[in-house]
Each structure stands twice: as structure tokens, then as C-alpha cells.
Structure 1
Amino acid sequence: MKIGKKLRAAILASLLCAAQLPHAAAVEAASLNPVMIGMSAIGGLLAYQGTLKEMLAIGNNVDYQISGLKQDLEENGEDKDAPDREVVDRVLGQITQHGEYALPINSLPFLWRVTAAETFNAACYPTDYITVNRGLVRALHHDEDELAAVLGHEMTHGLRQHSAKNYAKAVAESYAGIAIGSAADNLDWQKLNAVVGYAIAKDVTLPSELEADEGGFQLMTTAGFNPGGGAAAMARMAYYLTYETQDINEYHDPSEDPNAPNYNDHPAMQERVERLARMMTTYGMGHVTVENGTDVLIDGEKLLSADWDADYNNTTENAYLIAGGLAKAFHDHASFDDWQFADTPGGHISYLDENRVYEKLKKFVMRNHAEERLERLVRAAYTSPQDKEMREKVAAAEKKRSDAWQKIREKALDAKGDYVKQLRYNADRYSDNGMAKEALFLMERAFAAKNPDNIAENYAIRGRAKAVAGDYEAAIQDSDRAVSLDAQNIYNFLNRADVRRMMGDRDKALADLETSQEIDAKNPYIYKMRGEIYDELGEKDTALAAYKEYWKYAPSARDIPDEYMKDVDAAAYDKILKEREKKEKEKKEKEEAKKDAPENKMGEKT
């Protein structure tokens, strides 16, 4: 969703800066009461702080993350094509496992899905859920390096918490604008609305897009992808929109007055290509550049001209991927000897290893009979004074970034008890949804924290997560440890009962539920789990009795199976059926309305 377009009716605090506004609007703003301006600024600051706190809380809640995931798939459908899903899993898996970054303590681990939507887009929700359209995957022809640049961009939105911060800024500016507008006698609201949309796009969202491009480049290169992938992806995007779809919905609303300001909140495509190409050049110690979208140069001397090798003209993409291979080699190898140039029996020259990133480079060097030229240019590159100077500069910049990530890691270790409580809650909700990997990741953070809050509960929640993962031996060890540390906490017994149930030891699970009942007989989870266990055992009457107790202590529950609910409370059962019918009807109506509506996604998009 474009935050600028949703909040265009509000006015930016930067409206007060005449240098940023059209002349007429600046004159009107300057005539406002200074006292009202000051009050609106204070109100805007309070609105920002309050909204940011709420948005960050949403972003650190698994319930919202999973809800967003489910809603996305309900609205757009899940891509059923295995190659689409597999390439996204490979790329994001490699970035999350090997890229250099650190999650803030109030951030969730990344989740992602590929939807059936056909437009060229991806987005990151405030909850670190990344939605990827199959239209983007297919438009990039499943190219892993180009996808890595786009998906690294989306991950950066999540790591920098852009959605939360940008939304809070927009709300604050809206608050300030309303106050200022109310104080004006003859303010032109239509004109100010236009200024608002323009300023939010350019002053709020656009900077975060530039930061995400840079962050995405750093993520994908540290994870081992081709440094030319970013420029190649943007070149592909420009070609795709210009010659294939000619669909500009994602970048400018065609229903708007064509004479109105351009509210595009993303950098111009060519600007993005050039910026990402400069990052690639710097990464390659300044040696590698691309000219005219075709020519690959080393220190200003042409190595070769790229060509196309697909069912469309992908020449420019190839040029950047060839150059990216060179940039990675210069970055990763400190000397000419490290390239390992050697003559082969077939009359060719071998060099570098079999890393996938070098495939385009080797293919086009051979096609252009440029092996000797490459060896000569590489040898000369390492003798230039520029090489040593650039290596020192790049190393310093990389250390600075690495130190910044380390500070985020250290801050997470210093987290106070409330953060650890939220880690436990989120981990348990992941376990509820069968997501053991995510649950265990959060519990690892909880145990690593200098203030672990409640060690017994940490063991209990981790034990349950291990059981969800199928590691029952380790699960019961953690569960027993939790009970031994605190035998008065009912949840330690409830968690162990669930672990034993998953292990198939129902008798011991029921015994833990008996102990739980002695601690707090009104806890509804005792009877819910008891009903489930007796249902599994085929003891229907006993299960029904347990579910009746569950309903007694949790009268708003909606997870009692129908076969029992109709006997637990017939009137409530009828109400639940009507609720389902209403939701199904609303779902169908939404699906019908969606057929004619433009795609709209919550989050920071590509």
C-alpha cells in the first residue's frame, strides 16, 4: 500500500518549510497563526510517538504476522507452481542464513509466501512477512541474483522497520495538517491535499526506498549473490513495464489529473539502475563498469560487449551480471594469483572457481574469445594504486556496517524482561501454528538475553517447540526442567502435558492436567486439552464433559469441534454457524469486488 496515497488528505509538517512547497501553498502557510503552528507541531510529535509505539507492537506480534499471511493468501491465492516457490525459498533462505544483518529485539523472524498475483511486485509487512507475486518471479525469469536484489530490498524494509516508522510519520503529519488547516481562514484545501501527497511520497517514503535499495545490495552480496543483480533487476523491470505490460499502476495512478504532481514514492527506474551500478563498481574496488548497457569495462578498457541469450532482449541484464561476476572476484580476491589463471589442454584459459555467480562472465568471455584480454586487464588492475586505496576504503565501510549490526545484537542481549516475555509469547504462538523453526529461533534469543525473566517458563516454551519439531527426547528434558524449577506455575505443567500428548503418552499428559487442576481449577486450557485427549482416545462422553467445562470457563471460545459444540450449547452453536455463513458470504463478495479492483498490499513494496 502506498502510504502517501492513503493519507493524502492530511498535510505534512514540512508544509511549514516554504522551500519545499509550491509558491502559492507556501504563501498561504506563512500566513497562519504562529501559536497554532507550534501547537500542531507538538501534537504531531505526540501522534508520531504514540503511533510508532503501536505500530512496533503490531510488528512484534505473531498473531498479526500470521493473520497478514493468511489474509494475503486469501485475497491473492497461493502460487501452486513449484519452481516459483522453490526459487524464492532458495534465495530468501540463503539471504536469511548467510547475509550479514541483525534482527532488532522487537522484530519477528522473516516469513514469506509466493502469491498467485500476476503484477510485478513484492512487499514487506510491518510484521516482517514478505509477500512475493509470482508475476515478479516470472518476469525476472527465476533469476536468483535479480530476485536476491529485490527480496533483499524487502528484507531491509523489515530490518529498518520502515512501514512502522513511515506510517507514524504520515499520521503525525496528518495531525499537524488538520490543526493548521483548522486555524486558516482561506486555505485552499485542494491545493494542500496535492502538496501533502507529493511531500509524503518524496519526503517520507522515497528516502526509505533508497535506503532499502542500498541495504538490499549489502544483504545479497554478503549472502554470496551477484553484485550486478540489483542493476540487472531494475533494468529488467524497466524493460518489462515498457515493452511487455505497459502497466504503470504500481508507479502512478492514471486516474489522477495528468497535470497534478507526480506522487511516485519510488526512485525513477534509470536512477535506480545507475545507483545500484555504482554500488557494484565500488564493491569491485572501482575496477568494473558498464557503459551503454552493453559494454563491460575494467579500469576504463573494454573487455567485451554483452549480447542476449534468452527469448527476449536481456543484453543489459547480462552486462550487469557479467560485470557483477567481475566485481565479486575483485572483491573476494586480494591478488591476481587468487584468480588462478591457467592454460587448459583445450587451448582455453581457466580462472576462478565454479561459483554460480561467475557463469555469465565465463560464458561471454569464451563467446568473445576474451580470455587473454581478461587476464591482462586483471593483472594490470592489481598493480594500480587505486586498487590498494579502494580496498582500504571498502574494508572500512564494511567494518562500520558490521559494527553497527553488532550493536543491534548486543542491544538484543541487553533486553529487559518485557521483551523476553514477548519472545516467549511469540514462540508459543509459532508452536501453536506448527512453526517450530521460528519458535526455537525466538527461544534461543530468550535464553541468550542477559535478563531471561523467567527461566522455568523459558524451558517450558522451548520444550514445547522442540516437540513440535519432533525432537521429543530434548522436549521432555526441557519440560521436566521447567517443572523442577517452578512446580507452582500451572503453565509449566500444561506445556509438559502437551509435549507428552504429542509424544503419544496420554496417561502422563492427563496426570499433568490433574496437577494443573490442583493449582488452578478455573484455567480453561486444562479442559480444552482434556477434551482433545479423550476425543483421540474415542471416549466421547468424557470428552463432551471436558468440553462443557472448557465452555464454562471460556464462553467465547470458537475451537470446540462441531460434534461436541452442538451438545455443549445449542444456541451458541447456531450463532457460530450463522457467523460462518456471514464470513463466507463476505468472502465471496470480496472476491467478486477484487476482480475489477487494482491490487493493493499493505507494506513497503518493491
Structure 2
Amino acid sequence: MRKTAAAMLSVLVIAAAVLLPPARAEAIDAWGIAAQALGVLGAYHSALGAVLALGNDVHAQVQSKRQDVAENGRARNARDIELVDSIMERLVKDGDYVLRVNSLPFTWAVTDSPVFNAACYPTDYVSINRGLIRGLNGNVDELAAVLGHEMTHGIRQHSAHNYAKAAAQFYGLSFLNMNFGLMDWNKLNALVGYSIAKNVTLPTEYEADEGGFRIMTSAGFNPGGGAAAMARMGYYLTYVTQELQEYQDPTQKDLPQDDFSDHPATERREAKLAEFMTDYSAGHVTVIDRKTICIDGTPLLTVTWTNEDYDNSPENAYLTAGALARAFHDYDRAEDWNLALTRDGGATLGGDSRVNELLVHFLAKERAGAQLISLVHEAYAREAETGAREKLRAEEKARADARAAERSEVENADAKAIKKMRENSDAYSDYGDSQRALALMKRVFTSEHDDSRAQSFVIRARAYAVQGDAAQARADADRGVTDDPKDVYTWLNRSDVRRMLGDRTGALSDALKAIEVDAKNPYGYLIAAELYDEMGEKAQAQEYFKKLYAVEKDALGRIPDEYLEAVDKRAYEKRMMEKKKAREAHEKELREQLDKKSRPTDGSTD
């Protein structure tokens, strides 16, 4: 469910097809072959580095979101937005994962697109279409599985690595074709597309399915949500969708789709996610024929429809089985389930009532409460022989150890990486996003390789000021200045913090101190000039705008019109002329639009 990488790869292939000649190239010597091999490697590293850098740029992340919303519109249904926000916030906060040192915190938006899709951009921006929410009937656990899938693409930086591998494959095959003339270029493009889909994108989709399962279950969602989402998706894309591009022909379901698509066949994904659910239950819970739930192979109950519009039995089966899987996973003894028979022949159990809702419903409907209690006790009794629980815990420990190693790698990142985190935090504060700014600073403060703890304190102070925590902002800002009074940026940032908190006098004092520490840094002059202007001291503002311009000619754009004429008259006249031209062009455009609207629709001029 990723549209960004596919679009990028399409551009790459099309561009390369245009740039590379269709004629056969002359044979080359061994040195030429070696150079071409290095070229392929260079293409890989160049593409990888470019996309990874993009993914670690807050401004690019913000633009990703803005462009997506501009293209697809912002969702208008407040409940859809609230639903996605609640799921994503829970996945981000409670999910068990580790962001890489050069990754940004996740951000997301719900768009107004009717297409059944979600996507994770290289910048860790997750786009969720309203079509996906409608298609999954707003089911919390199914959405959590899909969004966890998208988060895994971001965590594993799939877009960057897939793009780089695709570039290398294309150039490698192109070089071979130029050398040996193996096929025409149209066939080559088709071969490249096939190779990328099968060898690059497809494996990462399977990885994202598993990663999404791990994230959503660790955040407390129903382990059957992933398989249920695939069951629903298969039905929706075949019988409901009005979008031709996403329609799935039911007669093609038995074909080996993995060989022709960059996404696994829906049925295979459903089966694989059901396996994850079974493994999560220590092997106890399975679903047969997409409707009968078994414990250790013995049928417990068979689910039925609960939707008037279509047969949603498969979804019900997986979500009901998922509740059992969570209980088997979370409880080491049958007694911990707190099972109790009900008067209607069903049973109740401990845990999350939302996750257990369908299970409780079908236990009562099928009067299967006593059967459940019996099967649960028998299942735990057999674990001593099978070692199923020890195996489950060993596998989980192995995954936990792997995440601990990833976390250690982040904490031991070099000073350059930590500095970039600090810069990204500062950028989030510029955008008014204190939550993500503070999240990054938390990572910075866990590192032993921070090359300027004083700067980290003042950058975190800015984030606290944006959040509205004045006391913590002042404390951090003061600490930064105290720790390194010779660093101009500690004074500049404390000045900004004081300014945000309404202390103009203190902010001005710090700006002037920054100029004293480093007279060549333009920001002290800029802040002082703006503060004098805000305080109504026009003469002083004029003076410091002049000083700013003397230190940094490129700061011209930061000088307001009322001060620019005295600073640089020619620059002022040029700006006024540009504004006049822009105004006249805008007025002309408005007149043309009005004239067009006033014309008769039949084209007559009478």
C-alpha cells in the first residue's frame, strides 16, 4: 500500500529510457566493464543517500504532507480524522519499534481521496485516504494493522532502499544491453519493471506485513486485525470499489500474483497474517475455512454474518480468534483468563473488552462458554509437553534483543547524527510542533556523543516555549547560557525563548549579548532590530537593520519596507517595482477572469 515509491520508480525508469540510446553500444574492454560496475554501485549509493537525506529533513516532511493534502484534499469527516489520530497516536506511543538515527518521528493526515490506500513517504509522513477508512468500515483493529504496515515501511526505510536498488538494477541491465544488445529497449523496460516488482518491492511488502503485526499487537490491538483487513480488502476490491485502477478480478485469484505484482496476493497475505496470529497464541488458535475457530485443532465455534450488506464471516472469525490469541499470549496460566460462564451459555474473560467484544458475542450465540473453559485448561496442560510457551517467549526475547541492539545503535550515534537530530528538533519548533521537537530532544539527551549539551538545552527550551511550558523553557535556556556563555547560539536561542514568552526586555538583552560574543553573526542584529520595532523604537530598529545589512547582504529580504529605503535605496526601489508589477499582473488576471465570466455562453458578442 505504498504509492510514493512506485511513482518515484516510474519516473526513474521513464527518465532513463529517454536518456539512454536505443541503439546497440560498441563493445568495451575490461576496464570499461569495471567502470560500469562501479557506475552501478555509484548509482545505488547516490540514490540511497539522496532519499535517506530527504527522509531526515523536517522541511521535506512538512512539504510531503502539504503537497499530499493539496493534491487529494483534507478529509472533511471529523470522526474519520479522530479515529485515525487515536490509532496512530497509540501505535506511535505504545508500539514496540525503534526509529533509526536518521529517521524522523511519524506524522500523518487523512485525505479526501476515495481510493482504498494508505502510503508512507520517505519522510515518515503517513497518508491515509478516506477511501481506506470507508473500505475497512472504520474497524479499529484492521486500520491499526494497515497503519502499522505503513509505519514499518518508514521504520525500515523501504522507500530509500527500494529506490536505490531499482536504480542499480536499471543501470546494470542497461549497461549489459548496451554492451551485448540482448533485447530492444521496450522489452528491457518491461524486464526492469518485473525485476523491481519481484526482487525489490515484493519482499519489503511481506516485511511490512510482519512489522505491522508486531507494532499493532504490541500496542494492544487485536492480533486478528491484519488477517481480517486482508479478508475485507479482498472483498472490497472485487465487489465494492468504483475505482478501476484498484479492481481485482475474482477469476484471477488462483494465478501466481506474486510473480506479476509488486504486492503479494491478498489471499496469501491473509494466510500469512493468520499464521502470525496463531504463532502469537503459542500455536493454540487457528481458523479453518475462514469461519471456524479451533483451539489446538478442536473446533470451538463457527462464526456467522454480522453485516447486512455482505458476508463478513471471515473478518469476524479472525477478530474472534484474535481475542483468544491475545489471551493465550498475555496469560501464562488458564486461571489468569478469569473465565466465567454466563446464563446464556457463553462466557466472559478478563482483558480489553473492546478486543473481546466479538468473542463474547459468539460464545453466547453458540453457547460455547463451557467448551472454551475446557479447551483453555487442556491447552495449558499440554504446554508442559510441547514447550509451546517457552518457544514463544524465546522468540519474543530474540526480537526484544534485536530491538535493544537497534536502540543502542541510536544512543551511540556519532556527534554528526546527534547534531542533525537537534537541528530537526529546532525545525519542528519553527513549525510549532513541540511534541516532535521534544521527542527528538529526548533522543539527543540519551546520547553520550552530543557535541554541545549547552545548545541542546537551549534548543529544548525553544520546544518547551512552543509547548507553553514557561518554567521548563526558562530553566533549560538559563542552563544552556550558563554551560557555554561563549557560544553565540546559546544567547540567540535564549533571546528567542524569552521573546516567545513575552519578555522583550530580556530577549533584547540576550540579542545584544549575542552581538558582543560574535559581531559577525547576523541573527543578533536581526532579533534586536525586530524587537526594537515591536517596542516602537523606530530609530534603534533602523540602526540595527543597517547593521544587519552590513554584516549579511543576503538578509535583504528580512528587512521591512519601511526600513529598507534608508538601508539600500536601490534595493527598495527594485522591491517596489517588483511589487507593482506583481499587483498589475494580478489585477490583469482578475479582469480577464471577470471578462470570461461575463461572456455569453453561445459565443455571441451582441
TM over 0.5: yes
1:575 Cα offset (Å): 3.8
| Equivalent residue, structure 1, for 2:356 | 358
Kept in 2, the 8 Å contact 1:8–1:194? The answer is no
CA distance in 2, matches of 1:165, 1:576: 45
1:479 to 470, 477, 480: 477
1:295 to 292, 298, 322: 292
Q: Secondary structure at the match of 1:275?
A: helix
| Equivalent residue, structure 2, for 1:272 | 269
Matched, 1:49 2:45: yes
Kept in 1, the 8 Å contact 2:238–2:248? The answer is no
| Equivalent residue, structure 1, for 2:601 | none
Amino acid at match of 2:210: E
Kept in 1, the 8 Å contact 2:100–2:155? The answer is yes
- Within 5 A, what are the aligned runs for 1:131-530? 131-185=127-181, 187-245=183-241, 247-250=243-246, 263-313=260-310, 314-344=312-342, 349-385=347-383, 388-530=386-528
TM-aligned CA distance change 1:157 to 1:571, over 3 Å:
same
TM-aligned CA distance change 1:347 to 1:582, over 3 Å:
farther
Deviations 1:460-512 (CA, angstroms, capped at 9, x unpaired)? 11111111111111111111121122222211111011111111110111111
Deviations 1:276-311 (CA, angstroms, capped at 9, x unpaired)? 011111111212111222222222222222222234
Amino acid at match of 1:307: T
Kept in 2, the 8 Å contact 1:232–1:317? The answer is yes
Amino acid at match of 2:479: R
| Equivalent residue, structure 1, for 2:253 | none
- Within 5 A, what are the aligned runs for 1:67-146? 67-146=63-142
CA distance in 1, matches of 2:586, 2:405: 46
Worse-superposed segment, 537-546 or 419-428: 537-546
TM-score, length basis structure 2: 0.85
| Equivalent residue, structure 2, for 1:589 | none
1:205 Cα offset (Å): 0.5
Q: Secondary structure at the match of 1:249?
A: helix
| Equivalent residue, structure 2, for 1:598 | none
Kept in 1, the 8 Å contact 2:281–2:329? The answer is yes
TM-aligned CA distance change 1:575 to 1:74, over 3 Å:
farther
CA distance in 1, matches of 2:582, 2:436: 32
TM-aligned CA distance change 1:421 to 1:160, over 3 Å:
same
CA distance in 2, matches of 1:518, 1:482: 17
CA distance in 1, matches of 2:117, 2:277: 23
CA distance in 1, matches of 2:167, 2:325: 42
Matched, 1:65 2:61: yes
CA distance in 2, matches of 1:583, 1:183: 55
Greater RCO (CA < 8 Å, at least 6 residues apart): 1
Amino acid at match of 1:459: F
Kept in 1, the 8 Å contact 2:37–2:172? The answer is yes
Worse-superposed segment, 303-312 or 199-208: 303-312
Q: Secondary structure at the match of 2:300?
A: strand
Kept in 1, the 8 Å contact 2:107–2:126? The answer is yes
Amino acid at match of 1:267: P
Q: Secondary structure at the match of 1:384?
A: helix
Amino acid at match of 1:352: G
CA distance in 2, matches of 1:229, 1:98: 17
Greater Rg by CA = 2
TM-score, length basis structure 1: 0.85
TM-aligned CA distance change 1:386 to 1:151, over 3 Å:
farther
Kept in 2, the 8 Å contact 1:124–1:154? The answer is yes
CA distance in 1, matches of 2:55, 2:347: 53
TM-aligned CA distance change 1:239 to 1:575, over 3 Å:
farther
Gaps of 5+ in 2: 18-23, 250-256, 590-606
TM-aligned CA distance change 1:328 to 1:175, over 3 Å:
same
CA distance in 1, matches of 2:75, 2:499: 34
Amino acid at match of 1:278: E
CA distance in 2, matches of 1:400, 1:140: 33
Kept in 2, the 8 Å contact 1:528–1:547? The answer is yes
Deviations 1:144-197 (CA, angstroms, capped at 9, x unpaired)? 100110010011111111111111111122222332222134632221111110
Kept in 2, the 8 Å contact 1:482–1:492? The answer is yes
CA distance in 2, matches of 1:386, 1:268: 38
Kept in 2, the 8 Å contact 1:284–1:330? The answer is yes
TM-aligned CA distance change 1:573 to 1:241, over 3 Å:
farther
CA distance in 2, matches of 1:324, 1:567: 72
Kept in 2, the 8 Å contact 1:32–1:184? The answer is no
Q: Secondary structure at the match of 1:504?
A: coil
CA distance in 2, matches of 1:89, 1:380: 41
Kept in 2, the 8 Å contact 1:4–1:201? The answer is no
TM-aligned CA distance change 1:110 to 1:100, over 3 Å:
same
Aligned residue pairs: how many? 564
Worse-superposed segment, 425-434 or 79-88: 79-88
TM-aligned CA distance change 1:381 to 1:577, over 3 Å:
farther
CA distance in 2, matches of 1:535, 1:166: 51
Q: Identity, % of aligned pairs? A: 47
Kept in 2, the 8 Å contact 1:293–1:315? The answer is yes
Root-mean-square deviation (Å): 3.2
Kept in 2, the 8 Å contact 1:65–1:128? The answer is yes
Q: Secondary structure at the match of 2:554?
A: coil
Matched, 1:572 2:575: yes
Q: Secondary structure at the match of 2:486?
A: coil
Kept in 2, the 8 Å contact 1:11–1:195? The answer is no
1:572 Cα offset (Å): 2.9
Q: Secondary structure at the match of 2:468?
A: coil
